[in-house]
Amino acid sequence: MSSLAVLHAAQLVTLTGAKRARIGPELSELGIISDGGMLIRDGKLERVGLSDEIEKNIGDAEVVDAGGRAVMPGFVDAHTHLVFAGNRLDDFERRSRGETYEQIAKAGGGIWSTVQKTRAASEVDLLARATKYATWFLRCGTTTVEAKSGYGLTVEDELKILRVMRQLKQEVRLEIVPTFLGAHAVPRELSPDEYLDVVVTEMLPHVTAEKLAEFCDVFCERGYFDIDQSRKILSAAKKVGLSLRGHVDQLTNSGGAKLMAEMSATTADHLEQTDEQGIAALSKANVQPVLLPGSVYALGSSRYPRAREMIEAGLAIVLATDFNPGSSPTPSMPMVLSLACTQMKMSPAEAITASTVNAAYSLNRGDKIGCLEPGKLANFVIFDCEDYRELAYWFGMPQTHSVYVRGDCIV
Ligand code: NIG
Ligand code: FE
């Protein structure tokens, strides 16, 4: 039995509380213990409390002195596109000259250009790239990511991406939750309805037979999949036992939030254009919004989702990076916290809750990760600051001191 004691955290941000995603004023309750400590046995938290009390029960545990730093659960990033080839530097430069996401996609950039590179890449190559990005996440203090397929758009290439994720899980300490996003775009060689048929009748059966994904996602947007097509895909996925997430109302308000409510999805993601009716629908159906301010920022837009209204409507809000080569090339949750506070008027405490415990519940893992309490996995980060608010305040400055996954120091 291996045991570890962490002592003298200036703030031990436990996020202990209700055994469900947090809403309203609960989003501000971080359960902070000053001069806190933890006792860890076999990768799980056994005791959490005042350093003095932990010290009395230390036994033969190895001691880590947090040295008056802030200690928090590892970030849970509930929306990433982790596996892809190439980059989108040309799109980036065009956007800097004022072209929009949609214009660039029409001119040969966008998702399609990443699809072509990803199709041409071998599993070995994709694995090497994803391993590098997994390291980036860990260095930013993220210990779990959700990862979507979606840059293959053929049966073979979507399965290739999902298998790379499965392989990656064996090779890195970052925890990975796979999502099937076959409906990320319509491939050039098929009509929308032909491709929809491939997604439903060919891809989904393979994905479920090989247990390659826990969730199914769809890009519901003008020029991608409309409401009816999205409903068909999500219904088919639900029938075969996948939980649902969706890219909705990102560029236009097409009623995507309402669709996710109708489908009893786990999350509705993006929501930059969602209005009060969409927010009310999500609230009624208990769907968690996943807000992605990194993509708004990187696309050079100023239309952030209406986080305050969502919180007031009682939604269990989640923040994520949307890590991808096109619209959000960042693995940094601290950057997302900064954007949430400065652009969406969330408080630093609300942003922390949204990126840890609430994100964990959105991945059906609230019983294992996202807060620091006995029985949970010892996935935590020591940050080189004393106060959790510094994470959102000093932006663009990595403050990770060390990162632990299941009790092992890996950064
Ligand atoms: O979440 N909106 C669709 N998918 C991604 C963008 C992917 C890409 O541009 O490659 C997003 O923003
Ligand atoms: Fe996305």
- The per-residue pLDDT for range 14-23, each reduced to its tens digit, is 999 999 999 9
- Please state the separation of Cα 100 from the chain's center in Å: 25
The verdict on the CB of residue 355 being under 6 Å from ligand 1 is no
What Å distances lie between residue 223 and 105, 220, 300, 382, CA to CA? 10, 9, 21, 44
Distance CA 152, CA 117 (A): 9
φ/ψ (deg, to 5) at 276:
-65, -30
Can you tell me the distance from the alpha carbon of 346 to that of 215, in angstroms, rounded to the nearest whole number?
28
Number of other CB atoms surrounding residue 238 within 10 Å: 15
Chain center to CA of 171: 20
**pLDDT at residue 63 in the model:** 98
Dihedral sign of CA atoms 363, 314, 376, 334 in order? positive
Distance (angstroms) between ligand 2 centre and the Cα of 246 equals 9
Contact (CB, 8 A) for 407 and 44: yes
For position 280, what pLDDT does the model report? 98
Q: Average of pLDDT values for 87-115?
A: 94
User: Is 22 strand, coil or helix?
Assistant: coil
**69 and 402 Cβ atoms separated by less than 8 Å:** no
Q: Residue 321 Cα, ligand 1 centroid: separation in angstroms?
A: 11
Query: What value does the mean pLDDT take over residues 22-38?
Result: 98
The DSSP bridge partners found for residue 400 are 383
Measured distance CA(366)–CA(177) in Å, rounded: 13
- The pLDDT assigned to 101 comes to 87
Q: Per the structure block, which two tokens stand in for 223?
A: 């020029």
| Per-residue DSSP letter, 323 | B
- By DSSP bridging, strand 247-248 and strand 267-270 are parallel
Spatial distance between the Cα atoms of 325 and 133, rounded to a whole number of angstroms = 11
Question: Among residues 260, 315, 301, which one has the least CA distance to residue 23?
Answer: 315
Q: Which of 234, 81, 105 is nearest to 158 (CA)?
A: 81
Please give the DSSP secondary-structure letter assigned to residue 356.
T
What does the chain come to in residues? Answer: 411
Average pLDDT over residues 98-103: 91
pLDDT-based confidence at residue 102 (cuts at 50, 70, 90): confident
Q: Where are the alpha helices (DSSP H) in 57-215?
A: 89-96, 101-106, 110-120, 123-139, 155-171, 192-198, 204-209
Q: What is the mean pLDDT of the chain?
A: 98
Locate all alpha helices (DSSP H) within 224-298, ordered by sequence.
Answer: 227-239, 256-262, 276-285, 293-298
How many helices and strands in the chain, by DSSP H and E? 17, 16
Give per-residue pLDDT as tens, 307-362: 999 999 999 999 999 999 999 999 999 999 999 999 999 999 999 999 999 999 99
Give the integer Cα–Cα distance in Å for 297 and 335: 10
Report the nearest atom of ligand 1 relative to the CA of 325.
10
Query: How many angstroms separate the CA atoms of 398 and 60, rounded?
Result: 33
pLDDT one-digit tens code per residue, 356-376: 999 999 999 999 999 999 999
pLDDT the model gives residue 199: 98
State the residue for tokens 């009682």: 314
CA proximity to 261, closest of 285, 233, 231, 237: 285
Q: Calculate how far, in angstroms, residue 326's C-alpha sits from the geometric centre of ligand 1.
A: 6
State which residues have CB under 5 angstroms from ligand 2, the bound ion. 322
pLDDT attached to residue 154: 98
Cβ of 267 less than 6 Å from ligand 1: no
Ligand 1 pocket, 323 CB below 6 A? Answer: no
Helix (H, G, I), strand (E, B) or coil at 395: coil
Question: Which of 77, 79, 80, 81 gets mutated to test ligand 1 (max ligand atoms within 8 A of its CB)?
Answer: 81
Which residue, judged by its Cα, is nearest atom 3 of ligand 1? 219
pLDDT digits (tens, 9 = 90+) for 127-169: 999 999 999 999 999 999 999 999 999 999 999 999 999 999 9
In this structure, the residue with its CA closest to atom 11 of ligand 1 is 327
User: What are the CA-CA distances from residue 280 to residues 156, 228, 255 (Å)?
Assistant: 39, 21, 12
Q: What percent of the chain has pLDDT over 90?
A: 99
Predicted confidence at residue 47, as pLDDT, reads 98
pLDDT at 1: 66
Give the pLDDT confidence score for residue 372 in this predicted structure: 98
Tell which one of 92, 218, 247 to mutate to probe ligand 1, the residue whose CB is within 8 A of the most ligand atoms.
247
Instruction: Specify the amino acid at residue 259.
Output: L
The protein residue with its alpha carbon nearest to ligand 1, atom 8, reads 326
Q: Report the relative pairing of strands 318-319 and 288-291 from DSSP bridges.
A: parallel
Mention every residue, 6+ apart, whose C-beta is less than 8 A from residue 292. 79, 269, 270, 319, 320, 321, 322, 328, 336
Going from the Cα of 230 to the center of ligand 2, the distance in angstroms, rounded, reads 15
Residue 388 pLDDT greater than 90, yes or no: yes
Task: Please answer whether residues 82 and 134 qualify as being in contact, where contact means their C-beta atoms are separated by less than 8 angstroms.
Answer: yes
